[in-house]
Structure 1
Amino acid sequence: KLYDVASYGVSKEDFRIDMDEVRSIAIAEKPKVIVAGWSAYPRHQDFAAFRSIADEVGAYLWVDMAHFAGLVAAGLHPSPVPHADIVSSTVHKTLGGPRSGLILAKQEWAKKLNSSVFPGQQGGPLMHAIAAKATTFKVAGTEEFKDRQQRTLDGARLLAERLGGKDVSDQGISVLTGGTDVHLVLVDLRNSQLDGQQGEDLLHEIGITVNRNAVPFDPRPPMTPSGLRIGTAALASRGFGEKEFAEVADIIGTALAGGADLDALRGRVSKLAQDVPLYDGLEDWRLL
């Protein structure tokens, strides 16, 4: 046993983090480190409040911003950097770079972190990945990158709005927290005939890839959970704008509402892929 872990959760009323509860747990447990960040939470976190709690109980604050680092870089999401002792992230999610990671920290942690990463945890450095990371960070400072991140947010909000439609809600499907502030939507299937595995398979059948995901207070087992996590960063990188995201949102909503012509939905997906190809010259590319 390496760590003694005490967890905090979300409120049953609104599915958001209750900072008063976080404070109560921290006071009771006296942790050495408080961890913030998320992988399936569609709202902003209050990093200043986490900092205040950490200071009150004498803890360090570590924030993992792997999912929302691109939004932070574009100035479209609160930054944890001024508040945290250590910030970690991947580079391949909203930042859109190679599969790798980064750590930002105060100078006092530099020697310990560097020696822990190498030779402690990391193998030989991959120079092509380092070059790709440098390119990613340069791109992240451009207006083009900021536009992509804004389209990512806009697409997620369009998706959340469509999944709140009556045809979808009539099937017992809802959007957790009632919307999103970030690049993803967490679909709540607890009151639906569909479970997450069935929802994932249904959308896969028409050419859309999402992943099944547990939701808070999930009554179903982990392999067939009661949620779907749907992100918009990849489509924004592909070049999708408001028109294309509205179409994707309607396709997903129509499919989840049930009773739709799946061949027709598959055709709409194919047209989107053809209209906005991954690269010029791939307009007629087909999966063999």
Structure 2
Amino acid sequence: MTHLLKSDSEIHLVIENEKKRQREQLVMIASENYTSSAVLEATGSILTNKYSEGYPGKRYYAGCENVDISESLAIERAKSLFNAESANVQAHSGSQANMAAFFSMCQTGDTIMGMSLDHGGHLTHGSKVNFSGKLYKFVPFGVNRETEALDFNNLYEIAEKNKPKLIIAGFTAYPLKVDFEKFKHIADSVGALLLADMAHISGLVAGGAHPSPVAHADIVTSTTHKTLRGPRGALALMKKNFEKKFNSAVFPNMQGGPMQHSIAAKAVAFKEAMSEDFKNYSFQIVKNSKILAKSLSENGLRIVAGGTDTHMLLVDTKAIGLNGSDAESALLSSGIVVNKNSIPFDDEPPMITSGIRIGTAALTSRNMLEKDMEIVSEFILESLRNHDNSKILSSIKEKVASFSAKFIVPGLD
């Protein structure tokens, strides 16, 4: 980055420090991952210079012959990767993809069912502080208090009573396998449409490590980062009859010019996700999550829902006398990055919480295996047990950095 160093030494220093952080720390935030060098190259390419309102072959600007090719590749690869009828790759974020889906399927004021935020749902699934909760009438559903798993009987009762226009099957903090076929059955029984938000699990779906929602949902949205290991951004997959509505909802309704550098990087990520290596990575994520959950559970931590089938696990830190915020701080002091997270039926506010969310995707991208998760588990347990001892936490941080240095960092190595 010689040009950046010469032009702006302050930003250059920020990036160099971030490289050091990502190399030395154990990144275990479930929504974070490492992209490949190829994805980074496409993201930082001169395609950022091109303005291209519209869609391939139907642009409002001249000179789009090259970005038409890259966007078309991204669309076709997304369709092939997920076996979808149609795809849109222009949405800048998962939230905007969800907004476009709502605009495609509902009218303002319609009733929509989504998972409650404090049970693992997303802000765009009906939070009152979000556009979704302001424009639509949301009816929440949640998990069973005893099992902490989705309660489909209760979900059906809520749907039957409220007759929603749309049901959302999607989560940000739900660790178990999702039965999209059951969601489809309930939606059909009450005459509702189905939106699947697979932002967190799309990489697992692409690799075959989690059942796909594509055959069941009318529209499927996802971010392209997280487990999919692409650039920051989003994609949507849909039945053919929703293609025109969704495309119009993105442009011209919500966005102007698409970010062609990001779209090209999405195309690269989709191609990478078709490889055998990616398939192995997706299954390894689940293996790593399960062994980590088992190790933590056997050493006194309560794992929400009794375990995990995905890239994430939720830990009830109140069970060991710590709130989520304090647990997050202790782990960060040890070089382990997680996020505080509400757990089902949490009585703490969102900035405190009773738990933490732990993800294994980024560590799996660094080629860590089950035996490495057992070591990571020891670091986590030792940090939480000594959360108020800065000297011990500092010692653990040195061990974590030494351990982390043994593994590659995609995009850097």
Q: Where on the TM-score scale, by shorter chain, does this alignment land: which range?
A: over 0.9
What displacement does 1:263 show?
3.3
Backbone CA RMSD of aligned residues: 1.6
Residue 20 of structure 1 corresponds to which residue in structure 2? 153
What TM-score do the two structures reach when normalised by structure 2? 0.65
**What is the identity, as a one-letter code, of the residue corresponding to 2:405?**
Q
CA-to-aligned-CA distance 1:42-68 (integer Å, 9 cap, x gap): 101211111111111000000000000
User: In structure 2, what is the equivalent of residue 253 of structure 1?
Assistant: 381
Task: State the partner residue of 1:278.
Answer: 409
Could you tell me which residue of structure 2 aligns to residue 78 of structure 1? 211
In structure 2, the residue matched to 1:286 is none
Which residue of 292, 308, 316 maps to 1:180?
A: 308
d(CA) in 1 for partners of 2:186 and 2:408? 47
For 1:169-213, what per-residue CA distance to the aligned partner results, in whole angstroms no more than 9, with x for missing partners? 2xxx41001110000010012333211110000000011110000
Alpha-carbon shift at residue 30 of structure 1 (Å) = 0.2
Instruction: Give 3-state SS (helix, strand or coil) of 1:190's partner.
Output: helix
What secondary structure is seen at the aligned counterpart in 2 of 1:5?
strand
Alignment check: 8 A CA contact 2:325 2:340 kept? yes
* Alignment correspondent of 2:397: 266
* Letter of the structure 1 residue corresponding to residue 233 of structure 2: S
Alpha carbons of 1:196 and 1:59: their partners in 2 closer, same or farther (altered >3 Å)?
same
Higher relative contact order (CA 8 A, sep 6+): 2
Q: CA deviation at 1:242?
A: 2.3
Task: For 2:407 and 2:376, locate their aligned partners in 1 and report how far apart those are by CA, in whole Å.
Answer: 12
> 1:285 is matched with which residue?
none
Shift of 1:165: 2.3
- Please report how far the alpha carbon of residue 264 of structure 1 lies from its aligned counterpart in structure 2 after TM superposition: 3.2
2:267 to 134, 144, 147: 134
Structure 1: stretches of 5+ with no match in the other structure: 283-288
Q: Residues of 2 paired with 1:280 and 1:77: CA distance?
A: 26
Structure 1 residues 237-252: aligned runs within 5 Å = 237-252=365-380
Distance verdict in 2 for CA 1:270–1:189, change over 3 Å: same
TM-score (norm. length: structure 1): 0.92
1:7 pairs with 2:135: no
Aligned identity (percent) is: 45
- Note if contact 2:386-2:393 (Cα within 8 Å) is conserved in structure 1: no
**Cα offsets for 1:89-125 (capped at 9, x unmatched):** 0000100000010110101111110000012122311
The answer to which structure has the higher helix fraction is 2
Q: Distance in 2 between matches of 1:279 and 1:223?
A: 32
Structure 1 residues 239-284: Cα deviation after superposition (integer angstroms, max 9, x where no partner): 21223222112211222233783233212211122111315986xx
Q: Which amino acid aligns with 2:402?
A: K
For the 8 Å contact 2:288–2:360, the answer to whether it is kept is yes
Q: Extract structure 1 runs of 4+ deviating beyond 6 A.
A: none
Residue type of the alignment partner of 2:353: P
